[in-house]
């Protein structure tokens, strides 16, 4: 029997399903048509053109369908149609509208759709720019779209094999068996959604995922051009567009990665912008391999060498994006990552493995088929040549990516290793030290080479001229490094060497741009990008080496931070200070005072905690600086016990003061403080508070309180009370005593929230005009009932890091602009085939 459910809006979901099927079929048709067009290009040009037109039409239809899927899903989310599981799971009525887009990429299906959308945009560009390579590149792009399309199909092959997961599944279908869905009017009980992950309720998460996924998507284009070159053994025309797309890819993916670092810095409470988390690593590894491939491709363009390595690296870059997807979406990293997807069971795991294997086998087959025909140069390159050291740098980047990938993948390969050896393999206990101790030397070598290779020429370099130029820059860099190292107290040998490498990269690239390139803007791309990279290294070193905690505990209060060992909990307890309401505590050169919190209001369910920081002269106690920080937190988010915090930071040009909440009073619990009676009769009477006092300054009938509307025969009096804390006057309080028509008495309370003080009349005794005594009831929140646990750190010179990222990305785009302005496809030296 078919049950008719009341209140469901089925049309958006039905349209969404229709467009998912249409997009999948259109991409499959486009891939097949482009394949047939490529197969018949030389044998039957007329037939090839017919297939080419069909391939184009299929891809355009596919793109239109993907856009329609987006519109349908956004309509469901924006209109809070909680009968759909995706809207119910990822949004809520209380979600601020500015975060609605974040609902798209919180879930698996939405993030796959975002990835697919960017492929559509890039595919349309390639379609109109690839010229003679269009049929082959678009056949690959459309084929990958077929694979991505299967991720959101959401149907079963037989009773057990699930293919993809659709974002348009109804709540009652995703939770079959729940008694509520047997009722036709179940929507009367589904009033709200589960809500967006509180960590994603940040402006960075509105812009970071689209940029990062554009970077992931763009790895497909160099991959497609490499496969297109192997397809027919043509290795000249693919070079210029592949370099152009690799430059764009390096800029966008690098930006996306560092925007993720900025999100972590602004939103996560691990105290920094990079923690070698597996999800961070999963995005970094494809970028490192891409940059290595870009540099070997530049070698091939200028010398005819390293083509095989170039193809391998650029193909691997895209395959690693798929592998990263496998790591972050199947749940296999659940215990080692703070922000991986929870996974969709074995179905998605096997699904992604199948896709990775198909792409890997296709790539291997193409390489094997053309292996002997790939151009190579028999002779060895000279040691004093640009190509030799560029190749060394690329190999170092590739080895760096292998080390990161192998360690990140421990949850993947450890079960097999245990089965073979009988031993357990676990991630390193000190993950930061494990990576830093290796990657610091990668930074040193790459930082040095990024400047040195620009002074070399392809094929041969005069050692005397090279030594003279490098010697000058090395001396300047050494002085610069010594000055910075002395000023920042950098005394660890490996970091002193890294400091020199960063300074050398900056100085040598600036010297190269000015002296060698004569500041010709269009030729400055490589040196600007390398200056940015060296500046990033310098920013990482300066901000991390002297990062220090200023919130050392003065109470000795132990806290449970959920760390894996007692030692880690003890260390974290020492680095967190408990701040009771209104009680100043020393933090470094500041006095920090918790002065209250915001009420949860409107759609933003977070609580902002106001912490006042003051810096005073040690001798005169004169106030030198004052600022307020507002670290915020969601208490018991989504009904769970605990706290989800977002940091608040004070930015200076040379450092940041970084704070976040690790604990706070749960205001849902009862207040233990009570009202206490005080008698006042003459001006000057004093009422003492926990952290200050109140002076009574008499009574007044001049009342301007908006809560009180005067009526005939009313007698209204206010008490004038001035509140002081340790720093002086804070605020006036004016509780009201109102006698209505000589019969009814009403009291109106006044509140000083930042000190937790509430005052009201209890009685008013008038003996004569000059003899009036009032009983004032005062309630002040017990400090133990209102407190926060705060961690505060100082990051010195972190702006150097962000500036370096901007410079590096700018350098990529300068190089891209210069390349696009050149005529021709890029000359490749004549190379004999082996």
How many CA atoms does the CB half-sphere of 723 hold within 13 Å?
Answer: 24
* Mean pLDDT on 151-175: 85
Q: What is the mean pLDDT of residues 683-699?
A: 88
Q: Which of 139, 113, 157 is nearest to 52 (CA)?
A: 139
Q: Is the pLDDT reported for residue 336 higher than 70? A: no
Helix (H, G, I), strand (E, B) or coil at 123: helix
Rounded Cα gap, residues 610 and 597, in angstroms: 6
Its sign, for the CA torsion 422, 426, 428, 430, is negative
Mean pLDDT of all residues belonging to the chain: 88
| Closest C-alpha to 285, from 259, 308, 319, 262 | 319
* C-alpha triplet 375, 377, 379: angle, nearest 5°: 170
In this predicted model, what pLDDT tens digit does every residue of 619-642 receive, in sequence order?
A: 888 889 999 999 988 765 555 556
Tens digits of residue pLDDT in 544-601: 999 999 998 887 777 776 666 677 778 888 889 999 888 889 998 999 999 888 765 5
What is the Cα–Cα distance from 279 to 324, expressed in whole angstroms?
Answer: 8
User: How is residue 215 written in tokens?
Assistant: 């970077």
* Dihedrals phi, psi of 332, to nearest 5 degrees: -70, -20
Distance between CA atoms of 118 and 296, rounded to whole angstroms?
A: 26
Phi-psi region of 531 (alpha: psi -120 to 50; beta: other; left: phi over 0): alpha
Q: Give the pLDDT band (50/70/90) at residue 746.
A: confident
Report percent pLDDT > 90 for the chain. 54
**CB-CB contact of 382 with 388 (8 Å):** yes
Q: Which of 608, 765, 602, 620 minimizes the C-alpha distance to 679?
A: 765
Q: What is the phi/psi pair of residue 392, to 5°?
A: -60, -45
Least confident of 44-58, 67-81, 601-615, 651-665: 601-615
Contact by Cβ (8 Å): 469, 413: no
| Residues in CB range of 378: below 8 A, 6 or more apart | 832, 834
Question: Distance (Å, rounded) from C-alpha 36 to C-alpha 127?
Answer: 16
What confidence score (pLDDT) does residue 834 get?
42
Structure tokens at 545: 């080496």
Residue 307 has a pLDDT of: 95
When pLDDT is cut at 50, 70 and 90, the band that residue 301 belongs to is very high
Q: How far apart are CA 320 and CA 805, in angstroms?
A: 23
Q: Which two tokens stand for residue 805?
A: 């990222």
- Compute the distance between CA of residue 230 and CA of residue 463 in angstroms, rounded to an integer: 38
pLDDT at 596: 82
The number of beta carbons lying within 10 Å of the beta carbon of residue 191 is 9
* First-residue to last-residue Cα distance in the chain: 72
- Choose among 643, 622, 620: nearest CA to 633: 643
What pLDDT does 817 receive?
Answer: 94
Work out the pLDDT band at 833, boundaries 50, 70, 90.
very low
Strand pairing partners for 113?
A: none
Please compute the mean of the pLDDT values over residues 757-785 and round it to a whole number. Answer: 83
Q: How far apart are CA 240 and CA 281, in angstroms?
A: 29
Average pLDDT over residues 53-71: 97
Looking at residues 109-117, what average pLDDT do you find? 94
The pLDDT confidence band at residue 80, using thresholds 50, 70 and 90, is: very high
């Amino acid at each position: 029997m078919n049950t008719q459910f009341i209140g469901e809006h089925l049309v958006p979901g039905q349209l969404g399903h229709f467009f998912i099927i249409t997009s999948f079929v259109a991409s499959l048709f486009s891939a097949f048509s482009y394949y047939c067009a490529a197969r018949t290009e030389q044998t039957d040009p007329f037939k090839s053109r017919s297939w080419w037109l069909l391939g184009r039409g299929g891809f355009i239809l596919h793109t239109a369908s993907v856009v329609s899927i987006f519109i349908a899903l956004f309509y469901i989310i924006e209109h809070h149609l909680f009968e759909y599981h995706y809207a119910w799971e990822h949004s809520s009525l209380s979600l601020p509208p500015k975060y609605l887009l974040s609902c798209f990429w919180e879930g698996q299906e939405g993030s796959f759709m975002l990835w697919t959308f960017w492929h559509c945009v890039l595919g349309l560009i390639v379609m109109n720019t690839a010229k003679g390579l269009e049929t082959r590149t678009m056949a690959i792009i459309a084929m990958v779209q077929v694979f991505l399309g299967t991720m959101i199909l959401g149907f079963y092959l037989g009773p057990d094999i699930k293919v993809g997961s659709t974002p348009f599944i109804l709540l009652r279908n995703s939770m079959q068996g729940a008694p509520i869905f047997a009722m036709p009017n179940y929507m009367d009980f589904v009033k709200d959604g589960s809500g967006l992950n509180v960590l994603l309720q940040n402006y960075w998460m509105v812009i970071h995922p689209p940029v990062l996924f554009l970077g992931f998507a763009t790895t497909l284009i160099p991959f497609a051009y490499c496969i297109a070159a192997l397809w027919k053994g043509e290795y000249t025309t693919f070079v210029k567009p592949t370099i152009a797309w690799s430059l764009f890819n390096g800029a966008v993916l690098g930006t996306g990665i560092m925007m993720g670092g900025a999100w972590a810095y602004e939103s996560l409470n691990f105290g920094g912008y990079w923690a070698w988390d597996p999800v961070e690593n999963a995005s970094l590894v494809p970028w490192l391999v891409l940059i290595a491939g870009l540099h070997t491709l530049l070698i091939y363009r200028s010398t005819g060498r390293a083509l095989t390595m170039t193809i391998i690296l650029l193909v691997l870059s895209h395959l690693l994006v798929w592998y990263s997807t496998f790591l972050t979406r199947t749940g296999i990293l659940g215990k080692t990552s703070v922000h991986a997807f929870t996974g969709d069971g074995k179905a998605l795991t096997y699904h992604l493995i199948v896709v990775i294997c198909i792409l890997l086998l296709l790539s291997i087959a193409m390489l094997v088929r053309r292996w002997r025909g790939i151009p190579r140069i028999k002779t060895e390159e000279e040691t004093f040549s640009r190509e030799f050291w560029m190749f060394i740098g690329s190999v170092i980047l590739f080895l760096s990516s292998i080390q990161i990938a192998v360690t990140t993948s421990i949850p993947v390969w450890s079960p097999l290793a245990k089965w073979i050896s009988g031993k357990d393999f676990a991630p390193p206990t000190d993950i930061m030290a494990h990576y830093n101790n290796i990657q610091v030397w990668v930074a040193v070598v790459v930082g040095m080479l990024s400047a040195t290779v620009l002074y070399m020429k392809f094929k041969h370099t005069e050692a005397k001229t090279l030594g003279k130029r490098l010697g000058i820059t090395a001396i300047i860099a050494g002085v610069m490094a010594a000055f910075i190292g002395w000023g920042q107290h950098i005394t660890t040998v490996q970091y002193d060497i890294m400091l020199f490498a960063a300074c050398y990269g900056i100085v040598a690239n600036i010297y190269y741009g000015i002296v060698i390139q004569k500041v010709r803007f269009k030729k400055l791309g490589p040196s600007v990008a390398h200056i940015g990279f060296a500046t990033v290294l310098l920013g990482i070193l300066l901000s991390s080496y002297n990062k220090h905690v200023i919130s050392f505990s003065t109470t000795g209060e132990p806290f449970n931070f959920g760390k894996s060992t007692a030692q880690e909990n003890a260390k974290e307890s020492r680095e967190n200070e408990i701040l009771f309401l209104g009680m100043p505590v020393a933090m470094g050169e500041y006095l920090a005072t918790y002065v209250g919190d915001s009420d949860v209001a409107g759609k933003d369910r977070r609580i902002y905690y106001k912490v006042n920081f003051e810096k005073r002269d040690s001798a005169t106690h004169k106030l030198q600086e004052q600022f307020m920080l507002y670290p915020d937190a969601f208490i018991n988010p989504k009904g769970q016990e605990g706290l989800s915090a977002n940091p608040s930071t004070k930015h200076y040009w040379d450092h940041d003061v970084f704070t976040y909440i690790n604990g706070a009073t749960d205001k849902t619990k009862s207040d233990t403080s009570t009202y206490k009676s005080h008698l006042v009769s003459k001006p000057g009477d004093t009422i003492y508070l926990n952290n200050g006092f109140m002076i009574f300054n008499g009574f007044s009938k001049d009342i301007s309180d908006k809560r009180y509307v005067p009526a005939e025969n009313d007698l209204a009096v206010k008490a004038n009370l001035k509140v002081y804390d340790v720093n002086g006057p804070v605020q006036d309080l004016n509780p009201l005593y109102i006698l209505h028509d000589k019969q009814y008495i009403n009291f109106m309370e006044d509140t000083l929230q930042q000190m937790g003080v509430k005052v009201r009349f209890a009685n008013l005794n008038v003996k004569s005009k000059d003899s009036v005594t009032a009983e004032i009831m005062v309630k002040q929140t017990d400090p133990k009932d209102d407190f926060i646990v705060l961690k505060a750190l100082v990051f010195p010179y972190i702006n150097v890091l962000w500036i370096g990222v901007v410079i590096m990305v700018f350098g990529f785009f300068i190089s891209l602009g210069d390349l696009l302005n050149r005529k021709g496809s890029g000359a490749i030296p004549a190379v004999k085939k082996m």
